[in-house]
Structure 1
């Protein structure tokens, strides 16, 4: 029997590779009187020979690259130039992107313009905008530009500090529009909360004249049930009225984390790179709840008051572009339509041209106070 096994082993060594597996099976299962150990020995005798001669891919497949596994694209990969940012709490429900390169600005301009055209007939379709910087106005800095789209459920934080003018002038490859075109377009509706200092910074730093804007602060002031419109409210006070207890606590925590950084290093933390997640969460938190705030107050306004809100928003923009505008004056807290104020409708709105600061300011066509007019007339006579 041992002689027979040795004979089989020699037969395996001289058997072609294609027939070797068949011979091996016969050795294991057809040897009468053989043992499992003998079958294992026969298998071990074949293994070294198989390892010594690996099967090579045909040359034609190598040339075609089919011998390699194809690289599959990433699932839900962000567009070029978009850096995804994970936010805590309810803000994680919306996708947030940080954009600090021209490729991202180009993609963003195309995306926002497509949204504006698609939802033009929808009253609720609006682009929510906010700006951040150290002492945000003509005398301060403009560091971040934040957009939030309810249609896309996406937030975008544009790094103006790094991109400078390219953040507004870089054009999209699909629609050939820039962020400046979108901000200045009357067809693309944009909502701000107190547009004055945002408009001031945009105009005097980069020559952007806002159009097609709504001011949610004015909506809240005009829609008050008690009719007390003497003073406008800040964002925090307005949020308290519409948020649940859990939402208010979460929003306060995000604001507190951002303010803690301000207290340690002033508002110049907006210019520190890389930008901390607390700052991004602070910025997105301001625009995340603006759609709910707008909806709560806009639906309460009559057609007459809606027209007044839109006209006063235009007046705020025109005023912020003037040479004599004071962004931090105490009078900014006063409401624009007190009982003794007379409505003076604006003429067709035309944004002012971008001029040097030494230019002569144009008069502001807006509300006029009746008592003040009477005093001026008496003084002239």
Structure 2
């Protein structure tokens, strides 16, 4: 928000931040205190250290869970933050794309690997929720062709016993399938609502908050909390998915990445809610 905001708007923002702070203690989506470890990666040195922690990780279940935030996240917008949750170490990294730009994807760790190479490695499984616009932005702005993607939105669709015509959003999946205890669910909703009211234009916010530095506590936690829940969703859906449907999910995930790289790709509109052809 701009510095010219009214006193009433500033008071509302302060109240939201207080709500988020009070909610911190209630969030433990993986029942481990280590989940509070959120690191802002905004230097080449910090990025190199992060890359060192990505070597030799198990692939089953996947170790790496990703999300992106930005202004109009697509080829027509920008990437502000790349979120990465590393399951074995229970660490959440917020990679500052605004500050690092191409350095975020070209900096090497001790073993020589870059984040670009990890993202493009088919043998390293990477979990996204609806990879399409994330892939569009990464490909358009940083020439990254994602591979090894497991799309949780498709995994949810594959496990349904009712209509598969339309996909669900992340919030609906979390509320329905993660089954957080009441206190944790209330805390998750408080953090979600606080973030939305800071960036959503319909609430007087702006997506530019993702690009402002230093990152506010409310946006920092908003960026971190959903990516930390993704392993729970992955486990829930994978345990309910047949081998045949798992194969279809892998293929459809690849097709989503390929589609996002086409000249005529449009990441907005009602068509984004439809299941892959032949799934319903």
Q: Does 1:119 align with 2:58?
A: yes
SS at match of 1:151: coil
1:225 Cα deviation (Å)?
2.0
Match of 1:188 in 2: 124
Match of 1:350 in 2: none
Match of 1:231 in 2: 166
Q: What is the alpha-carbon distance in structure 2 between the residues aligned to residue 284 and residue 339 of structure 1?
A: 32
Match of 2:247 in 1: 307
Residue number among 58, 76, 91 corresponding to 1:154 in the alignment: 91
1:280 Cα deviation (Å)?
0.9
1:288 Cα deviation (Å)?
1.2
Residue number among 48, 67, 86 corresponding to 1:130 in the alignment: 67
Q: Does 1:211 align with 2:156?
A: no
Question: Equivalences for 1:308-347 in 2 at 5 Å?
Answer: 308-338=248-278
Unaligned runs of 5+ in 2: 1-22
Q: What is the alpha-carbon distance in structure 1 between the residues aligned to residue 65 and residue 97 of structure 2?
A: 17
Cα separation, partners in 2 of 1:281 and 1:304, compared to 1, 3 Å:
same
Question: Equivalences for 1:151-300 in 2 at 5 Å?
Answer: 151-172=88-109, 174-226=110-162, 228-241=163-176, 242-244=178-180, 245-262=182-199, 263-300=203-240
1:247 Cα deviation (Å)?
2.2
TM-score (normalised: structure 1) = 0.63
User: Which ranges of 4 or more aligned residues in structure 1 deviate by more than 6 Å?
Assistant: none
Q: What is the alpha-carbon distance in structure 2 between the residues aligned to residue 126 and residue 295 of structure 1?
A: 12
SS at match of 2:225: helix
1:329 Cα deviation (Å)?
2.3
1:187 Cα deviation (Å)?
1.9
Contact preservation (8 Å) 2:57, 2:88: no
Structure of greater relative contact order (alpha carbons < 8 Å, 6+ residues apart): 2
1:264 Cα deviation (Å)?
3.6
1:339 Cα deviation (Å)?
6.0
Q: What is the alpha-carbon distance in structure 1 between the residues aligned to residue 184 and residue 24 of structure 2?
A: 12
Unaligned runs of 5+ in 1: 1-86, 341-381
Match of 2:52 in 1: 110
TM-score (normalised: structure 2) = 0.85
Question: Equivalences for 1:347-366 in 2 at 5 Å?
Answer: none
State the number of aligned residues.
Answer: 247
Q: What is the alpha-carbon distance in structure 2 between the residues aligned to residue 271 and residue 219 of structure 1?
A: 31
How well do the aligned residues superpose, as a CA RMSD in angstroms? Answer: 1.5
Q: What is the alpha-carbon distance in structure 2 between the residues aligned to residue 280 and residue 316 of structure 1?
A: 28
Structure index of larger Rg:
1
